[in-house]
């Protein structure tokens, strides 16, 4: 049992690549939490894909024991949070579990868009914030300029900012002292009924679901019966422990402490991030505020390239869903692609991570259909429907109007690329909300439709700014707009996998791009094939794939022209008949390429 005033709970917030996982490694190393022979880079990132991409996907935690300069022993609980916008909800919950944050800013690059977004999460949770300037060993580091930027853009006093190089270990001792002296101790009542926040959960093949908890009030002991307040389920606690990064079993967790429990829970879906845990008997009556279930934002279809692998795909998706409560899926069939799944994700990075894990961990080749967002369709009879898949769009005669999700996007960009960024946002139907300057960099705030962002906005933004722009967004709600469903017809047959929702003003442009692309991708047949993009009954773009022809007049040497004409007429009739009965084979590769909208 540790005194409350000897505990410090903190998280590290930073933009991607500003060095928070490296800083965590140095803190672990400096305090001797892990033996030197066991140290490795990105100590807290356990998944291969996290190491490879250099990003944090799951919030991780570690308990550090530190003997401070004042002679007392302190317990420091660090939560390493994801920096990416897709996992913003997990970040906000992790922030509620701690009292302070280390704000890590790259001393050469300065404040970026996600630095801002994550600092706002920390300020919302009433955190004490200690600014840290990392990477001071780089020749381009400019601490005074970046400290001034932190004061201008975020409005935090950066005069006491600690200068650190997480790579060389310089400034790490000062950081540990600042955690002990500048961050507040947690509050909590040991004798009150148990109230604990569920910070995160993941599936372990041996122990079932492992639940990461922060105790607010009361004491959690081994053998207690606990109740999840959100769904009312009751579980007996099997094990209680803390991470040092390996699991260490203990007997109880008291107020202010962060640890884990296992309770033979079978599915991660039963343990929702942000839920309140209490005792079954004599528990607390009021849940912690701010809980909301994770809502998928982006939907797309996942189909196996080889139809025989469908069962393997089902197994892999079920296993991934065990470990990820925010990932939803349902079975769907497509005339062109066969059997597959319609899956919901928190964002594009989440989609990429799941797809990469299926391809890598389960060795299945996938076709991903074009990502789409949720539209709200108000019908003429007053009902409201959600549309996840453009192929399911109801008949327009029954539709009153369609609403699409909008986001508020914050883009930080060097001055010389500002024009290109403004043009890109205007092209994507954006509405400018704000434009301010922080030193030589502009901060642009736009209201954008989400469906324009999920295609390739991020890639385009990176290419027009040579990689210097940083981008962050949050959902702001739904807005009515003039949207239509665009269908692609090949040989007058609709191809459901290529249906998309587009804005009416851009339908011709998007349709033309799609049919031109398909004309190059579909191999020629013995008859000519029309490829059309249509809105309802009206064709907005068309290309014709010419037929392969045999030279039937080759054996006519000289002689009368009527003989040749007769043979050509006969061939023409045959082609016409063929086209009526002919089936167009669209190769898988053509689908994969047609769905990459990179024009």
Cα distance between residue 482 and residue 375, in whole Å:
12
Residue 374 annotated as part of some ligand binding site: no
Q: Could you read off the pLDDT tens digit of each residue along the chain, which spans 599 residues?
A: 667 888 888 888 887 777 777 888 888 877 777 666 555 555 554 445 545 555 555 557 888 888 888 888 888 888 877 666 666 667 777 788 888 888 888 888 888 767 777 787 788 888 888 888 888 888 888 888 888 888 887 788 878 888 888 788 888 888 888 888 888 888 888 888 888 888 888 777 788 888 888 888 888 888 888 888 877 888 888 889 888 877 888 888 888 888 888 888 877 777 777 788 888 887 777 877 777 777 788 888 888 888 888 898 898 888 887 767 678 888 888 776 788 898 888 877 788 888 888 888 888 888 887 778 888 888 888 888 888 878 778 887 888 888 888 888 888 888 888 898 899 888 888 889 889 887 777 888 999 988 888 767 777 887 888 777 777 777 788 888 888 888 888 888 887 777 888 888 888 888 888 888 888 888 887 778 888 888 888 888 888 888 777 777 777 777 778 878 888 888 777 777 666 666 666 766 666 666 655 44
Residue 70 annotated as part of some ligand binding site: no
Domain 298-369, CATH: 3.30.70.870
Please count the other Cβ atoms lying within 10 Å of the Cβ belonging to residue 90: 22
Evaluate whether 298-369 and 376-380+391-481 have a shared fold: yes
Which residues pair with residue 503 across a beta bridge? 483
Q: Domain boundaries in the chain?
A: 4-182, 195-279, 298-369, 376-380+391-481, 485-594
Instruction: Tell me yes or no: is domain 485-594 CATH 3.30.70.2570.
Output: yes
Residue 519 annotated as part of some ligand binding site: no
Domain 376-380+391-481, CATH: 3.30.70.240
Domain 4-182, CATH: 3.40.50.300
Which residues pair with residue 443 across a beta bridge? 412, 436
What does pTM read for this prediction?
0.72
Residue 503 annotated as part of some ligand binding site: no
128-134 and 162-163 as β-strands: parallel, antiparallel, unpaired? parallel
Q: What's the longest Cα–Cα distance across the chain?
A: 112
Please state the φ and ψ torsions of residue 149, each to the nearest 5 degrees: -65, -40
Following DSSP, what letter does each residue of 149-216 receive, concatenated? HIIIII----TTPEE-BTTTTBTHHHHHHHHHHHSPPP---TTSPPEEEEEEEEEETTTEEEEEEEEE
Residue 85's pLDDT is: 62
- Check: CB of residue 488 under 8 Å from CB of residue 543: no
Residues in contact with 209: Cβ distance below 8 Å, sequence separation at least 6, in sequence order? 201, 202, 203, 262, 263, 265, 266, 267, 268, 270, 271
**158-177 b/e (C-beta count within 10 Å ≥ 16 → b):** beebbbbbbbeeebbeebbe
- Among 273, 251, 246, 259, smallest CA distance to 89 is for 273
Residue 599's pLDDT is: 43
Residue 203's pLDDT is: 78
Residue 576 annotated as part of some ligand binding site: no
Instruction: Tell me yes or no: is domain 195-279 CATH 2.40.30.10.
Output: yes
Residue 135 annotated as part of some ligand binding site: yes
């Amino acid at each position: 049992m540790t005194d409350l005033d000897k505990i410090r709970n903190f998280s590290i917030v930073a933009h991607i690549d500003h060095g928070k996982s490296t800083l965590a490694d140095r803190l672990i190393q400096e305090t001797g939490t892990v033996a030197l022979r066991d140290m490795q880079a990105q100590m807290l990132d356990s998944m291969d894909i996290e190491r490879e991409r250099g990003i944090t996907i799951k919030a991780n935690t570690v308990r550090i024991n530190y003997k401070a300069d004042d002679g007392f022993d302190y317990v420091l609980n660090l939560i390493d949070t994801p920096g990416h916008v897709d996992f913003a909800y997990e970040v906000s919950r992790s922030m509620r579990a701690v009292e302070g944050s280390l704000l890590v800013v790259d001393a050469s690059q300065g404040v970026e868009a996600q630095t801002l977004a994550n600092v706002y999460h920390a300020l919302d949770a009433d955190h004490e914030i200690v600014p840290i300037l990392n990477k001071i060993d780089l020749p381009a580091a400019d601490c005074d300029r970046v400290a001034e930027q932190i004061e201008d853009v975020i409005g935090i006093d950066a005069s006491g900012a600690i200068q650190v190089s997480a790579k060389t270990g310089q400034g790490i001792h000062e950081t540990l002292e600042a955690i002990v002296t500048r961050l507040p101790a947690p509050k909590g009542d040991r004798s009150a009924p148990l109230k604990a926040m569920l910070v995160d959960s993941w599936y372990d093949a041996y122990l079932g679901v492992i639940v990461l908890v922060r105790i607010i009030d009361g004491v959690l002991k081994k053998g207690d019966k606990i109740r999840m307040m959100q769904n009312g389920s009751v579980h007996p606690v099997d094990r209680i422990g803390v991470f040092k990064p390996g699991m260490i079993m203990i007997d109880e967790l008291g107020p202010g402490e962060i640890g884990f429990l296992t309770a033979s829970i079978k599915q991660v879906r039963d343990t929702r991030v942000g839920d309140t845990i209490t005792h079954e008997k004599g528990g607390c009556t009021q849940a912690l505020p701010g809980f909301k279930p994770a809502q998928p934002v982006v939907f797309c279809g996942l189909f196996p390239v080889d139809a025989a692998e469908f069962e393997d795909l089902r197994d892999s998706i079920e296993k991934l869903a065990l470990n990820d409560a925010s990932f939803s899926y349902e079975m769907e069939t497509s005339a062109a692609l066969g059997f597959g799944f319609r899956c919901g994700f928190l964002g594009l990075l989440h989609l990429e991570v799941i797809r990469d894990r299926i391809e890598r961990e389960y060795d299945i080749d996938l076709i991903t259909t074009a990502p789409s967002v949720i539209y709200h369709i108000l019908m003429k009879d007053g009902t409201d429907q959600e549309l996840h898949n453009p192929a399911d769009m109801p008949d327009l005669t029954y539709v009153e109007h369609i609403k699409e999700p909008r986001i508020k996007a914050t883009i930080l960009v060097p001055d010389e690329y500002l024009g290109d960024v403004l043009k890109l946002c205007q092209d994507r139907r954006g509405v400018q909300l704000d434009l301010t300057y922080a030193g030589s960099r502009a901060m642009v705030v736009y209201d954008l439709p989400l469906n324009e962002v999920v295609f390739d906005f991020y890639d385009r933004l990176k290419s027009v700014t040579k990689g210097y722009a940083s981008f962050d967004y949050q959902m702001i709600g739904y807005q009515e707009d003039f949207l239509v469903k665009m269908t692609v017809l090949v040989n007058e047959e609709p191809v459901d996998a290529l249906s998309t929702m587009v804005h009416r003003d851009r339908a011709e442009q998007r349709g033309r791009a799609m049919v031109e692309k398909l004309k190059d991708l579909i191999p020629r047949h013995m008859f000519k094939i029309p490829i059309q993009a249509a809105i309802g009954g009206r064709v907005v773009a068309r290309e014709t794939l010419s037929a392969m022809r045999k030279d039937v007049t080759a054996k006519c040497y000289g002689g009368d022209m009527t003989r040749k004409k007769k043979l050509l007429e006969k061939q023409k009739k045959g082609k016409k008949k063929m086209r009526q009965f002919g089936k167009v084979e669209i190769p898988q590769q053509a689908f994969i390429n047609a769905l990459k909208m990179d024009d």
